[in-house]
Amino acid sequence: MKNTKKMQLMFFILIPAILAIFTGYTSADSTIVLSKGQSVYVPIYSHIYHGDRERPFELAATLSIRNTDTKREITLISTDYFDSNGVFLKKFIENPIKVKSLASIHYIIKSSDKTGGSGANFIVRWESTEPVNPPLIEAVMIATKSQQGISFVSRGQVIKE
C-alpha cells in the first residue's frame, strides 16, 4: 500500500516536470521586451546597520549601467542621486552620454560620502532612437573593516516606460 502511494506521488510530481521540459516551458523573466527608453530606480546604500546598537557600516557604492543591446547604442539622459528622504543630492550627468553596444559606464559613491544614508537611490533615465534590449542597471556596495568584509548587489527597477 505504501509503495502505491509513493508511486502515485512521484507520478504527480514527475509528469508536470517532464511536460514542462518538453513543451518549452519558460518563465516570464526569459521574455525579451524591447524598449525605446525608461526611468529606472536603483537602491543605493551609503551604509547599513549592524549589531544590537545599530551602528552604521559605511559602504562604497558603484552604479553600473551596461548596454545589453548587441547592435545599438543607448543615450543616458540623466543619472540623479537622492537621499533617504527623497531629497535631490547630485546630478551625475550634465549632458546626454552615448553608451555604445555592449559598453558600460559607472559612477561611484565613496564610502566617506554619508549624505545619501541607508535609503539613498539613483534615478537613471535612458533612451534610444529604436527599440533595444534595456540596459542592465545595478549598484554594487562593498566595504572592508579590520578582517570583515561585505558586498552585495541591488538591481534597478523600471518605474516609467
Name the average pLDDT for the chain.
87
Q: According to the model, what pLDDT value does residue 32 have?
A: 83
Q: According to the model, what pLDDT value does residue 31 have?
A: 80
Torsions phi, psi for 67 (to 5 deg): -75, 110
Q: According to the model, what pLDDT value does residue 19 have?
A: 47
16-38 pLDDT, tens digit each = 554 454 445 555 556 889 999 99
Q: According to the model, what pLDDT value does residue 29 have?
A: 59
Domains and CATH numbers, the chain: 35-160 (2.60.290)
CA 151 to CA 114: how far, in whole Å?
Answer: 17
CB 101 within 8 A of CB 139: no
Taking the model in full, what pTM does it have? 0.79
- Tell whether the model's pLDDT for residue 61 goes beyond 90: yes
**CA angle (92, 33, 159) in 5-degree steps:** 40
119-138 pLDDT, tens digit each = 999 999 999 999 999 999 99
81-119 pLDDT, tens digit each = 999 999 999 999 999 999 999 999 999 999 999 999 999
